[in-house]
Amino acid sequence: MPQFNLFQIFCSVLIALLRPFSIPLEMFCHEDVGERYPGFASIAALLTAEGWCLFSDDVFPLHALMVAFVVRLIVHRVMAIRRRMERIKFIPGRYAGRPLIARLIPQLPERLLCWLEPVALILVSALMCLLSTSLGTYLLCGSVAWLTIVFLREMVAYHRVLDQYEADAQAGVLPMAGRYFEVLPPKAAIENAQPIPLVDEIQMTLPGIDFNPLPQA
């Protein structure tokens, strides 16, 4: 397996610093969130919002949002305990949840909705600034932080696939049938050859790389 490189460490640290701003929005916009997903970021979010109020005149809307956030966390915890006790609907502890907007537009893939949510919230937050400066700027900051987190997670996942591909290529274990993807060798090596079928449903793709099956020797 590829090692956790410096780039991934940098992205993970940056995500941890941004989550206190995005976690309230994520909890309101997602359902079936993993039990451990809010974590310490939820406590940091409350402290961050309280510090935000120190530089704002109109603090009531932001305090109301934080009260609603605390209620959401309590409901989240109660539902997680209920699922665990009754052994229903297992959800991974670190799962970020399913976007609520998927109920309105179920045709779109969840991966695309993860980008659409923060972009839509940025527009809503900009309009909210006209009604409440403190709440609008806080939501705008949280939306931008959320969009940045989505981008960083995509980059980390992309680099992990690249690292895995390069590690397996150096180890000479290609094709990776049944593991991640299959790789197309030079055209000179595939003339008059038969492809090797996949043995697993999981396939991952990389931009700019054709993952046609590798032929038999």
pLDDT, residue 178, reads: 43
Do 196 and 216 meet the contact criterion of CB atoms below 8 Å apart? Answer: yes
Sign, CA torsion 186/164/157/9: negative
Query: Does a structural domain hold residue 83?
Result: yes
- Domain presence at residue 206: no
**Residue 171, both tokens:** 């180890």
Whether 68 maps to a domain, the answer reads yes
Note the pLDDT tens digit of each residue in 97-106: 888 888 888 8
Q: Is the pLDDT of residue 210 over 60?
A: no
Return the closest-CA partner of residue 35 out of 103, 89, 114, 112: 89
Q: Helix, strand or coil for residue 59? A: coil
Q: How far apart are CA 215 and CA 148, in angstroms?
A: 40
Lowest mean pLDDT among 65-69, 105-109, 121-125: 105-109
Residue 30 lies in a domain: yes
Tell me the β-bridge partners of 144.
none
Q: How confident is the model at residue 26 (pLDDT cuts 50, 70, 90)?
A: very high
Q: Is the peptide bond before 118 cis (omega within 30 degrees of 0)?
A: no
What angle do the packed helices 6-29 and 133-171 form, to 10 degrees? 140
Residue 101 CA to residue 118 CA, distance in Å, equals 12
Residue 178 resides in a domain: no
Domain count within the chain = 1
Q: Which of 117, 16, 191 is nearest to 216 (CA)?
A: 191
Answer whether residue 195 is part of any domain.
no
Q: Which residue has the higher pLDDT, 113 or 3?
A: 113
The Cα-based distances of 42 to 22, 68, 102, 191, 201 in angstroms read 9, 13, 24, 57, 36
Q: Give the containing element (helix H, strand E) for 27.
A: helix 6-29
Which residue range(s) make up the domain with 86? 12-165
pLDDT digits (tens, 9 = 90+) for 142-155: 999 999 999 999 88
Is residue 50 included in any domain, yes or no? Answer: yes
Whole-prediction pTM: 0.70
Name the percent of the chain lying above pLDDT 70. Answer: 76
Give the tens place of pLDDT for each residue, 59-84.
888 889 999 999 999 998 898 888 88
What's the whole-number average pLDDT of the chain?
77
Tokens of 166: 């390069």
In a domain, 197, yes or no: no
